[in-house]
Structure formats: structure tokens, C-alpha cells
Chain A
């Protein structure tokens, strides 16, 4: 049985200006341990899908099952890495931000700092534990978000364009690290992006969405390439072209 299954999920926002269908009839299963990228143009409903799976917002059609149980709200089994930096706690230093979930679980100060230190080093921030978010670069903040989510030991990670606002070099470096961390921890990952190369570099499967409104899953492309991936290899380029063709049709419809 799949770890997660989204079955005919839909989301319609209702507000003063009428209703807006953001996601329509979205179905996808996620297997334990896989790295699935969700790719789509801006506004197609990627964040909306993630918010429903995280339990932040209810579905308005279909259902989402986690281990066979319907998702009722947010929980520690699904770690989230957010699109911006707003989610970090400005008043805590890097180490205590990472340890936050452990603190919530009632772990003692020494034990949780020790464990958080492990994840701090895992994301390559050794020596930065005493800095506060205001003193960290954008890339460092995303590393902290990733470490904070991992430290709470969730069943799966939901990541919403975590590297979207970074420069190309930092992004490539973080992609490499995320790939290594995933290989080490074997967490199930749902990773949202609108960068085709990023998706092909990271994913074991790529879900391509149609453009909004009413975005839905258009195709799922398996990526059977060994890690670490050689971005200039023919096999990589072949997958890139295949996905590009799918996305291109959404940006320039006939």
C-alpha cells in the first residue's frame, strides 16, 4: 500500500469575489522512500496541494490518505519546509530552531541540543549554531528549515520550492546536499519546484501539472538514473527534454 494516496483531490476557494478552483481531480500515490517532484508553472496549484497534504487546509473534493487514514490536520509525521523564511523563529539561534520540534516533544535541553547539533552538521552549518536567523544568509536559513524538519524525524518531508529564491550556485550546492541527505535518511519526499533541471537532478519520479486554474496532474515521469547525477549526460538530457516538452505545452498552448 502506498504511504500517501491523493484520490481525486480538489480545492475550490470561496471568497467575496466568488469561487476559485485552484486544484481539480488530482490523484497521486507516494511510495515509502521515494523522492517525488511536483513540477508546474506558477499559480497551477502546487502549494495548494502541499497545504492539503500537510493538513493546513481541508480538501473540497476527493480525499487524502496517509497510511490508509484520512488526513485531518497537521501533524509531526509530515515535516514541512516552507517557500519563504517566515517560518523560522527569530528569537532562537540556529541550534534552538533546529531543536524546536524536540523541545515540543519534551526532550531535555542537553539531549535535544546534542541531537540538533547532529542535524546542524548534516546540513553543513557546523560552527553557525549561535547565530540567529537575522544573521544568516538565505541559503543558510533554508538549511535550518530542512534540519529542523528532519530533527523531528517525520515519516515524510514536504518541501515547497525550498531553493526557489537562491542564486544558481547555492541552489546547485543545496540540491547536492539534499540528495545526499535523502540517500542517508531514505525519507519519503514530496518536493515542489518549477525548475525542470532541479526536478530531474533530485527526483525518482516527476509529476507534471497542467497550468491553472484547476491544475491537475498531467503526467508522471519516472527518473531511473543513478545518483549522484551527471547533469550533462545524455540520459539526463533525455529526461530533461521529455519533461520540458510536457511543461512547454502548458506555457504555450496551441
Chain B
């Protein structure tokens, strides 16, 4: 309990320092309308929230992230497990994963728009794309890292192959899967902004793009700060969820 209070206090001070540094830099260092200090940005954010505009963009972006992320995870985890467990599957699929892994989602925006248009599908596809390879690779690595003695112990307690997989290999791999999901979540933020910048009718990326078009500098900063805070909050929520339901699997989280 005291630890948690100390952590929250530390975060509060850390953020306060960030805003102070921003303020000092804007007021004393840069002196430019192109770099507003925190206060006008804050007032602008309140205005946008009054109209419900900011919330709309946030919901649009987050919904796409969640859909693509769940889709990518649902496909990536079983694939990673299969690649890690069966040599023939690995040999067969490694060219796929090692090929697409080096074509970043941002480079796929063009084809995504050609194939799916600028609606939801292209965004969900891109997030799923950016998610799936990270999760496949960390899941497969996790399967390979299961201690041999854990499997052997189960074998001489009478485990069959199915039990070895579900009761030993799978839970032992879970920390790797969850870590992969955390990394994939960070990738999803990068990808959604890029995708919305290029082709979208709403979302935080679209907001950034429009603000640049109409030279609304405060709006740009509102979008940037919102992204930072959302990312931070999402990652914390992820870690808390992991600790709540799987902390025992991974004492280091």
C-alpha cells in the first residue's frame, strides 16, 4: 500500500516536472507561436472536451487499436506456440515471419488503403499486422525457454502430451506472451497515428493532420499530449492486469 502511494506520488512529481520543463522551454528559450507553453494547450484541451471532440478522436483511435490488437493476438499466440513446439512448423513459417517482420506496418499503409479503403478495415488490418509478428516471435521464444526439468518432472508424474502442453508448456510460456503483447501495444500506437495521418476521417492522427493544415498549433499539442498520456495509461493498465491475473507467472513484472 505504501509502495503504491510512493509510486503514484513519484509519477505525479515526474509529470509535474515534465510540464515545468515544457513551460520554461517555451517561455524563456524558444519564444515562438509555434511552440506554445502548457497553459494555452490545457485550455484548448478543455474547450475540445466541452464539445466532445477530443473524446471522439480518442475513442476512434482506441477502438481501432483494441480490435486490431485482439485480432493480432488471437492469431499470433497459437502460431507462436506451434512454431515453438514443432520443428517442421518452424522451418515452414520462419521465412514468413522473418520476411514480414522487416516490412514495417507504416510501409503497408499504402496497400492497406488500396485493399480496404480509408475506413475501419484498413486500420484494424494494420494494427493486427504490427501486432502479430512481435507476439509470434516472443511466444515461440518462450516455448523454447521452458526448463527441460519442468517437462521431465511432469512426464514422470504421468503426463501425456496434451497435459504437457496445456499444464506445463503453456503456463510456463505465459510471461513471454504477455511481454510480447506489451511490446505490440506500443507498436500499435505508432501505427495507428501513422495510418490516421495518411488516411482517415477521425482519430488522433487525423486531428494532428488537420491541425497542421489549419495551423492550429495548440491542437497539435493537445493531440501529442493525449497520445503520451494514453500510451502511459495503457501500459500501466496492462502491467496491473498482468500482475492481477498472472503476477505469479512472472515475478519480475
Contacts and interface: CB of A to CB of B under 8 A. Distances in A.
B189 interface: no
Nearest to A56: B152
A86 B150 CA distance: 6
A186 B150 CA distance: 27
Contacts of B150: 86-89
A164 to B, nearest CB: 15
5 contacts: A78-B156, A86-B150, A90-B249, A91-B248, A104-B154
Interface string B210-253: 00000000000000000000000000000000000010110100
Contacts of A103: 167
Contacts of B155: 55-56, 73-75
Contacts, number: 74
Interface string A102-118: 01110000000000000
A88 B172 CA distance: 11
B149 A104 contact: no
Interface string A221-232: 000000000000
Interface of A: 54-56, 73-76, 78-80, 82, 84, 86-91, 100-101, 103-105, 132, 134, 145, 148-149, 152, 154
State which size class the interface on B falls in.
Answer: 20 to 34
Contact of A54 (B156, B158, B248): B156
B152 A104 contact: no
A87 B149 contact: yes
Contacts of B152: 54, 56, 74, 80, 82, 87
Contact of B149 (A75, A84, A105, A148): A84
B153 A80 contact: yes
A80 B150 CA distance: 11
Nearest to B147: A86
A100 B157 contact: yes
B146 to A, nearest CB: 10
Nearest to B164: A104
A169 to B, nearest CB: 26
B134 to A, nearest CB: 23
B159 interface: yes
A87 B158 contact: no
A217 B154 CA distance: 30
A102 to B, nearest CB: 9
Contact of B147 (A87, A91, A104): A87
A61 to B, nearest CB: 23
Contacts of A87: 147, 149-150, 152-153
B158 A105 contact: yes
Contact of B251 (A75, A80, A84, A134): A134
B163 interface: yes
Contacts of A91: 171-172, 174, 246, 248-249
Contacts of A90: 172, 248-249, 251
B190 interface: no
B168 interface: yes
Given A104-B159, A152-B158, 12 more contacts: A54-B152, A74-B156, A76-B157, A89-B168, A89-B172, A90-B251, A91-B248, A100-B167, A104-B167, A148-B153, A148-B157, A152-B157
Contacts of B163: 104
Nearest to B148: A86
A145 B156 CA distance: 12
B158 A76 contact: yes
A101 B159 CA distance: 8
A129 to B, nearest CB: 15
B29 to A, nearest CB: 49
Contacts of B153: 80, 82, 87-88, 145, 148
